Amino acid sequence: MSTVSHVLNKTRPVAQATVRNVLDAVAEIGYVPDPVARALDSTGYGSIGLAMSALSNPYFSNVVHGIDRHASAAGYSVLLADTHDEADMEVKAVSELLRRRVSAIILAASCDGAQAIRYANKVDVPVIAIDRFVPADVDQVAVDNTEPTAVLVDHLASIGHTRIAMIAGRDGLTTTVERSAGYRLGLRRNGIEVRPEYEANGDSSEDGAEAALGRLLSLPEPPTALVAGNNRMTIGAMRALRNAGMKVPGDMALVSFDDFEWADLFHPRLTAMAQPALSIGEQAVSMALSRIASPSLPPRKVTINPTFMHRESCGCPPPESAL
């Protein structure tokens, strides 16, 4: 039991293989450390737990705002455990939230979320999956990733681009799989060859995107247009273009799957597919409250459509600018 304690509470280093074995066992049996024995109070009663990578991702910050606003209006407090988008950290985050006796957990899974969901279900705490659909019988809410990414490609193709690249997110994320599929769908329906060298992995990060764009620019026939898979990778791509002395959209047309509150301040302003982060957060809380009140309800899966924000970084003026 001492090794389990060290893994869950990070009180001393433990070999990574041991960490994985402990977390698998913890999820299987539904073990939750006793907060009374640990001299913890029951501050989680009447609260909703969040397990997500909220501190490093501006998109999730907006989701949290929607969650907090709706939960507060319903009389619930919100407890956050950051997962850093890592599967091992998810189980630890869920363990911490369960120790705090939360009434439900809203989870943005790094991969399929199976361990964390199984862990919570062992102690009958409902899980609401957000942003990334998971292969589990739980309530879920996320945006459509595939068709909207294809729409971004449609837009670039409509203004004459045929060498369209994509910087995709971290391997294993459902959002990465779905947006990459949308990118290829958009190419095919516009009669553009799918070129594997034009798909670069940006690891869902600024630094990863900067390195990925460097690889794209070094190709014998570099792309003329780019789809960035999220807001952080958009920032990394813009930094790489600036460092290479290239201008948007003159040297590279740029569109993003993800918007920014301050996208209008970019020059040129960023063309993007805007996710309804506040609405996703509010919908997740509504699902959590319904599940708390009626545990036997069948699971629901809600898909929300993002909104195409036509600005200038794509290389063509939005309709209002053409007047």
What would the pLDDT profile of 130-183 be if each residue is shown by its tens digit? 998 888 899 999 999 999 999 999 999 999 999 999 999 999 889 999 999 999
DSSP 219-253: SSS--SEEEESSHHHHHHHHHHHHHTT--TTTT-E
Rounded to whole angstroms, the Cα distance separating 23 from 93 reads 11
Q: Identify the three-state secondary structure at position 303.
A: strand
Architecture of domain 2-137+278-306: 3-Layer(aba) Sandwich (3.40)
pLDDT at 135: 86
pLDDT at 8: 53
Give the start-to-end residue ranges of the domains of the chain. 2-137+278-306, 146-274
The answer to whether residue 190 scores a pLDDT higher than 80 is yes
Rounded to whole angstroms, the Cα distance separating 85 from 255 reads 24
Give the pLDDT band (50/70/90) at residue 195.
Answer: very high
Domain pair 2-137+278-306 / 146-274, same fold: yes
Architecture of domain 146-274: 3-Layer(aba) Sandwich (3.40)
The answer to whether residue 250 scores a pLDDT higher than 70 is yes
Q: Identify the three-state secondary structure at position 317.
A: coil
The answer to whether residue 292 scores a pLDDT higher than 50 is yes
Peptide bond into 317 cis (omega under 30): no
Q: Which two tokens stand for residue 40?
A: 């913890």
The pTM score is: 0.83
Give the pLDDT band (50/70/90) at residue 264.
Answer: low
